[in-house]
Structure 1
């Protein structure tokens, strides 16, 4: 029971804890959301789009994935916390698109897709877990 209590205090209901963060997987069949809509929903839950792959699920087809908190700012790929990306796990490097999502069926270092904001995907929100 003590473990359950700690878990309840650590992450919000329906969120999954992994290491020091909590994750919310938007897994509804529809409607999927644009990058902006996804980020707004995360922020409304006092969180932001995620940085990590973790356990994402395949859905629909090879091109559908999960938005991550990465966008091009002044032509530099930048995480939502303002730090520049140093990994560059691109499946389609050199694309002119400005937003990023992650797909499940690819090696981690080729799992990010550069795409336009208007595309609709599922997404993952992340917040730091509260340690008590």
Structure 2
């Protein structure tokens, strides 16, 4: 009985152990079944298309960016070239204007304006007529009395001769009034210091004119207080303390004397 009981008890324990093991395994399997499982699905066609589209967009963006960069570079180069050309043109204009300013405006001096005097050599070709040329030309020929200098023109109503302008009045005043009138014009009564000036005034005038000649004591002097170097007194010079140029007579003897309060025409001279 005891042996049978033990055998049955042992078998029961074995069966119980098997059941426990099986139940434990089943619990563990159920626990494993209850855990979240990772499922890896195969890629769909939609995701593949999206990927390809993204890659295409990236390629297009990179291509357009490269094209835009190249276009900007071309515009930059074109702008640089344009600015360089403009700078060169402006530089050329500045150089041309500088040369013109340095040389002056050149025009050919008419031959009629160049005086022909003894010892003067007429140039074979027309020379450029500008201020510097005239200044150098006439300063080196101080003895030349030119009718037209060309470098400076006298005002309307004045005559140009040598380095002076002359005004022959058309109305009569006394000697003192005539001198004041000439002073108001910026000059004085005419001072005749050469035969050329004497001949010029005698030729241009056809009346009797006060000149800047006056007697002080026993000496005749000009209005600038210089003494007479050459005189052209007429044989019958009359009397008076002021000098008149009578252009109706020959130029070598046409100075006459007259009272200073007498009224006659006058000649003003403006030197430059």
1:23 to 166, 184, 207: 166
1:110 to 230, 253, 269: 253
Higher strand share: 1
- Number of residue equivalences: 119
* 1:65-96 Cα distance to aligned partner (Å, 9 max, x none): 00010000122000111111132311135x54
Tell me how far apart the structure 1 counterparts of residues 156 and 250 of structure 2 sit (CA, whole Å): 31
Tell me how far apart the structure 1 counterparts of residues 156 and 215 of structure 2 sit (CA, whole Å): 32
Deviates more, 1:40-49 or 1:98-107: 98-107
Tell me how far apart the structure 2 counterparts of residues 105 and 121 of structure 1 sit (CA, whole Å): 14
Larger RCO, structures 1/2 (Cα 8 Å, 6+ apart)? 1
* Equivalence for 2:225: 82
* Equivalence for 1:38: 178
* Equivalence for 1:50: 190
Tell me how far apart the structure 1 counterparts of residues 152 and 251 of structure 2 sit (CA, whole Å): 32
TM-score by length of structure 2 reads 0.39
* Equivalence for 2:125: none
- Unaligned regions of 5+ residues in structure 1, if any? 60-64
CA RMSD of aligned residues (A): 2.5
Tell me how far apart the structure 2 counterparts of residues 57 and 22 of structure 1 sit (CA, whole Å): 14
- Unaligned regions of 5+ residues in structure 2, if any? 1-106, 110-130, 132-149, 193-197
* Equivalence for 1:14: 157
* Equivalence for 2:75: none
Tell me how far apart the structure 2 counterparts of residues 120 and 81 of structure 1 sit (CA, whole Å): 22
Distance apart, 1:8 and its partner CA:
9.0
Is the CA contact 2:168–2:205 (under 8 Å) kept in the aligned structure 1?
no
